[in-house]
Amino acid sequence: MKVKLAKTAGFCFGVKRAVDTVYKELSRQENEKIYTYGPIIHNEEVIKDMQRQGAIVLRTEEELDAVTKGTVIIRSHGVEKRIYDKLEAKQISVVDATCPYVKKIHNIVRKESEEGKFIIIIGNPDHPEVQGIRGWAGKDAAIIQNPEDIEKLSIKNDKKVCVVSQTTFNYKKFQYLVEIISEKSYDIIVLNTICNATKERQTETRQIAEEADAMIVIGDKHSSNTQKLFEICAKACKDTYYIQTLDDLNLNQLGSVETVGITAGASTPNNIIEEVQKMSELSFEQMLDESFKTIHNGEVVEGTVIDVKPDEIILNIGYKADGIITKSEYSNDSSLDLTTVVSTGDAMTVKVLKVNDGEGQVLLTYKRLAAEKSNERLKEAFENKEVLKATVTQILGGGLCAEVEGVRVFIPASLVSDSYEKDLSKYDSKEIEFVISEFNPRRNRVIGDRRQLLVAERAEKQKELFARLQVGDTIEGVVKNVTDFGAFVDLGGVDGLLHISEMSWGRVENPKKVFKVGDNLKVLVKDINDTKVALSLKFPETNPWAHASEDFAAGSVITGKVARMTDFGAFVELAPGVDALLHVSQISRAHVDKPSDVLSIGQEIQAKIVDLNEAEKKISLSMKALEMAEPAGDAQ
């Protein structure tokens, strides 16, 4: 096998200068803390080594603001002008490790901006180098990365324009975007600020990739210039692999090749490049043979997605043959397009169904393994009586369906609530809590129980309420049910009975005409007996008999309404809760056989109170007494 290493691979001048600066400061530090503002370069392995030696990485401006003393090293990508101003105002010691090429761009955009030019920066707006350049460019500046960004530019016709670039930007794309900008008829100057080292690295990488059977690109996943190298290689060489360290090099992916090319980003240290080169120079055929593992039906294996089609997934499982997952072995949803849920490079844990499906491939299942894991999870929840949360996915005639990690749980209507509920539609798409009361995966039977949770919760509330509830207390509640004999009121975990006789000081013929479910009531606790609470709306302060001696004094004339009648007389309502007897003999001076001959229910009459017995709450009336008094009144 032939291995070709790019001469330009590894640290560029600016990166090496920044890294050396940090190690130099660390080597001479005594008690002073050494900070870097942002990762000094885009390579986590280097950053971790610096941290082990005492460097503190400040990743946000808030963390920078908290620094009061020590030395702050500016990263190789550079920072905005205001960061320098902030550190100077705090009198913090600063060591500037900004790449000289980047520093040159800062000076250019500052100068051109001060001369009144509009600054266009071509680059990735999320990259720290570009953000730093923008911070030196004044208020009239814009960052563009593609032709669409150019169309959004708003520049006055008389404004001169200066165009610069991110140092690691793709040179061909830079030229393409400059051509489009030039067509806008701006008064424009273009300064190609792409680093020569970057152009040389990209050019050499393209040449090697065009000749190699496989390419290995080494660099941090967040490194912009390494990402661009990968894009260049991927266009020229189909088998291109992006790795960060030797641990990421999967020999199974390379297969049997004759030529392997190696390149690395500007932030990749030499030791990692050397490790990869050394490993590559070994016999890949031998290593692949040694790395092939044996697998068996039913075995759980790890794999990496190497291709996805709408109806199947192909995985590299470290075996001499690839693994296949059909749509039916991934999901029960026959309409699912697998390309919408799985991507190339995804890691998957799967189960082997057949080592050889007849075509030399390994048949795998994702769905069955997921179901097994879910069943294990539910079995554990069942055994531990764990409270689960899930969203109701379906309303059935006999109950609810919810899904827990892909497993259907049925909650019968009798176990949905602690009281009968005829309409379960209110639970649709709602998240509910329940426990597993029956678990039988072989019969595909998993039963949930919400009722016992509500019963337990209500019992706890009852305990708390009975501990503080006293006869004579006034408490608020909600009408839960209305019957012919009264209403049941939920007091917050305890149901109290408001009997029909306690609903009013007056008569209530039908509770359902007075109350409805959901009404809020303020009620009086009349009696507590074990777990039963008797309620009343007959508050003492509203008792109509409280001032009976004044309101219904004997001898006074009063107006009332006939409430009911018997053969011996009529009962007249003088006020809610106060009925008086009008005896048949006291209805008229003329003979009356029975009250209904001269009176009717609801009729309003005027009568004289002839007797008041407060102790027995009895009042006697007479209409005849008023008739007898009329002649004397006329004589006067």
Q: Are 575 and 550 in contact (CB under 8 A)?
A: no
Report, as an integer, the average pLDDT of 210-236: 90
CA distance 143 to 123: 7
Average pLDDT, the chain: 87
pLDDT at 82: 92
pLDDT band at 255 (very low <50, low <70, confident <90, very high): low
pLDDT at 603: 94
pTM: 0.42
Is 621's pLDDT higher than 60? yes
Report, as an integer, the average pLDDT of 381-407: 89
User: 539: helix, coil or strand?
Assistant: coil
Angle (nearest 5°) at CA 553 between 547 and 558: 100
Which segment of 39-48, 81-90, 280-289 scores lowest on mean pLDDT?
280-289
CA distance 121 to 143: 5
Report, as an integer, the average pLDDT of 55-82: 92
pLDDT at 67: 92
Q: Which residues are catalytic?
A: 129
CA distance 326 to 489: 58
Task: Convert the pLDDT of each residue in 261-308 to its tens digit.
Answer: 999 888 888 887 777 777 666 544 455 455 556 788 888 899 999 999
Q: Residue 227 to residues 174, 223, 247: CA-CA distances in angstroms? A: 16, 6, 19
Is 205's pLDDT higher than 60? yes
pLDDT at 634: 45
SS3 content of the chain, % helix, strand, coil (to 5): 35, 30, 35
Is 569's pLDDT higher than 90? yes
Is 633's pLDDT higher than 50? no
pLDDT at 296: 85
CA distance 79 to 106: 9
Which segment of 176-180, 350-354, 598-602, 614-618 scores lowest on mean pLDDT?
614-618
Q: Are 399 and 416 in contact (CB under 8 A)?
A: yes
Task: Convert the pLDDT of each residue in 304-338 to its tens digit.
Answer: 999 999 999 999 988 878 899 999 999 878 899 99
Task: Convert the pLDDT of each residue in 437-493 to its tens digit.
Answer: 999 887 878 999 999 998 888 888 888 888 788 888 899 999 989 999 999 998 887
pLDDT band at 357 (very low <50, low <70, confident <90, very high): low
pLDDT at 636: 36
Q: What is the largest CA-CA distance in the chain?
A: 143
Q: Are 36 and 55 in contact (CB under 8 A)?
A: yes
Task: Convert the pLDDT of each residue in 448-464 to its tens digit.
Answer: 999 999 888 888 888 88
pLDDT band at 548 (very low <50, low <70, confident <90, very high): confident
Residue 4: DSSP 8-state: E
Is 631's pLDDT higher than 60? no
Beta bridge partners of 393: none
Higher pLDDT: 610 or 245? It is 610
Which segment of 93-102, 164-173, 291-300 scores lowest on mean pLDDT?
291-300
Among 57-66, 191-200, 290-299, top mean pLDDT goes to: 57-66
Report, as an integer, the average pLDDT of 386-394: 91
Share of the chain above pLDDT 90, in %: 48
Instruction: Determine phi and psi for 460, rounding to 5 degrees.
Output: -65, -40
Report, as an integer, the average pLDDT of 519-543: 87
Is 172's pLDDT higher than 90? no
pLDDT at 358: 67
Is 517's pLDDT higher than 50? yes
Is 242's pLDDT higher than 80? yes
pLDDT band at 632 (very low <50, low <70, confident <90, very high): very low
Report, as an integer, the average pLDDT of 552-566: 92
